[in-house]
Amino acid sequence: MQPTATVLVYSDDSNTREQVRLATGRRPAPDAPVVEFVECATPAAVLKELDRGGIDVCVLDGEAVPMGGMGLCRQIKDEIFNCPPSLVLIGRPQDAWLATWSRAEAAVTLPVDPVEFAAALAALLRERRALHA
């Protein structure tokens, strides 16, 4: 049986969540685990899923409404014990400093570039696997 990873995707926009799923495919890289998605459209749903546990990486839409992914990222880093690594989707490259403020481990710009996104997600999954090996 192949190892799997659970990736939480937060965005109020179903098209953004779909971009993430399509960019990832079954797995973001040949050496990465097969990915299963948990989709959340609200900050409350994200907190509920993180409290439940089992999330390996969070992908958070920085342009989400009413709460952007960067603010949510900073909140979960403060509130969730052993918070999984986070990748934030930013509106423009100039917003990279905000991603740093949010304490996200990675950031990619919207719209999702499949190659850039898959590489960033695979790197976070590899790090997560190494920590828990």
DSSP string for residues in 43-97: HHHHHHHHHH----EEEEETT-SSS-HHHHHHHHHHHSTTPPPEEEEESSGGGHH
Q: What is the pLDDT of residue 1?
A: 56
> Which residues share a beta bridge with 6?
36
Q: What is the pLDDT of residue 2?
A: 66
Q: What angle do CA 28, 32, 35 make, to 5 degrees?
A: 65
Q: What is the mean pLDDT of each run of 10 residues along the chain (133 residues)?
A: 88 97 96 96 98 97 96 97 96 91 96 97 92 71
Q: How far apart (Å, rounded) are the C-alpha atoms in residues 22 and 16? A: 10
Q: What is the pLDDT of residue 3?
A: 84
Q: What is the pLDDT of residue 130?
A: 80
DSSP one-letter code for 25:
-
**How many residues belong to the chain?**
133
Q: Please tell me the CATH code under which domain 4-131 is placed.
A: 3.40.50.2300
Q: What is the pLDDT of residue 129?
A: 83
Q: Which two tokens stand for residue 86?
A: 């986070």
- To the question of pTM greater than 0.85 for the whole model, the response is yes
